[in-house]
Amino acid sequence: MTQDREGLSDPKAMRALAHPARLMILNRLRVEGSATATEVAEIAGITPSAASYHLRMLAKYGFVEDAPPRGDGRERLWRGVDKPLSVGVRPDDQPDVRAAKVLLIAALRKGANEEADRALAQSDLEPEEWREVTLFSQHRLRVTAEELGRLTREIEGLLEPYVARNRSERDAPEGARLVEAQVNLFPVAARVVPGLPTEDHGARPVPD
């Protein structure tokens, strides 16, 4: 949810989505398919009644919908709406829209950071074949706006065939598992240089 491809623009919908439990619930439904409120409650660490409330809010703004019943049909099933989700700040955004976008992007970034921290903390538990192909990297690029746009499209094109929403467990090769891909491409913002401190208040005196 980083590029604005006819993306989210309703501030109420974005504020409704910018909730950690709702983001977890929506991700669960979009990646793994339909589920009940009780099933998504376990993923989000909340009560089934709280999950039902969050599901109704997600449905209100078009992020989820009722799914076909299973078994005797006594349980209410939910599924993610099959449409791309994207959000990006635009120069012509109204203040309330921009504020809602920033709020949602911050929530997404927080969830992504937590996902990466959890993976890093458990990296020693992964089989060697997975440790060898895991990558945490950061690069400074020197590009034009046109080049950055082209790079973004190329990366999205490379990732598209592997997106879990479009590639079920049945369709993927044996041994495939869920992997997180985090891509951030943005112009480096000016940073206020703190300069040298006038006094070293925390420094200890050097003994003679």
pLDDT in tens, 141-165: 999 999 999 999 999 999 999 999 8
| Judgement on whether residues 105 and 15 belong to the same structural domain of the protein | yes
How far is Cα of residue 51 from the mean position of the Cα atoms in its chain? Answer: 19
Q: What is the mean pLDDT of residues 63-80?
A: 91
Q: What are the tens digits of pLDDT across the range 162-176?
A: 999 889 889 999 999
Q: What are the tens digits of pLDDT across the range 118-141?
A: 999 999 999 999 999 999 999 999
Q: What is the mean pLDDT of residues 96-107?
A: 95
| Judgement on whether residues 118 and 180 belong to the same structural domain of the protein | no
CA proximity to 33, closest of 169, 162, 161: 169
How far is Cα of residue 63 from the mean position of the Cα atoms in its chain? Answer: 15
| Judgement on whether residues 150 and 105 belong to the same structural domain of the protein | no
Neighbours of 113 (CB within 10 A): 11
Determine the structural domain holding residue 76 and report its residue range: 11-125
Q: DSSP letter string over 29-53? A: HHHH--B-HHHHHHHHTS-HHHHHH
| Judgement on whether residues 15 and 41 belong to the same structural domain of the protein | yes
| Judgement on whether residues 25 and 100 belong to the same structural domain of the protein | yes
| Judgement on whether residues 83 and 115 belong to the same structural domain of the protein | yes
CATH number at residue 106: 1.10.10.10
Q: What are the tens digits of pLDDT across the range 50-61?
A: 999 999 999 999
E strands, 3-91, where?
64-66, 78-80
Q: pLDDT value at position 126?
A: 96
The confidence band for 207, taking pLDDT boundaries of 50, 70 and 90, is low
> Is residue 98 included in any domain, yes or no?
yes
E strands, the chain, where?
64-66, 78-80
Q: What tokens does 34 get?
A: 């339909």
Under 8 Å between Cβ of 97 and 11 = yes
Mean residue pLDDT of the chain comes to 90
Handedness of CA 125, 126, 127, 128 (dihedral sign): negative
CA proximity to 25, closest of 13, 10, 36: 36
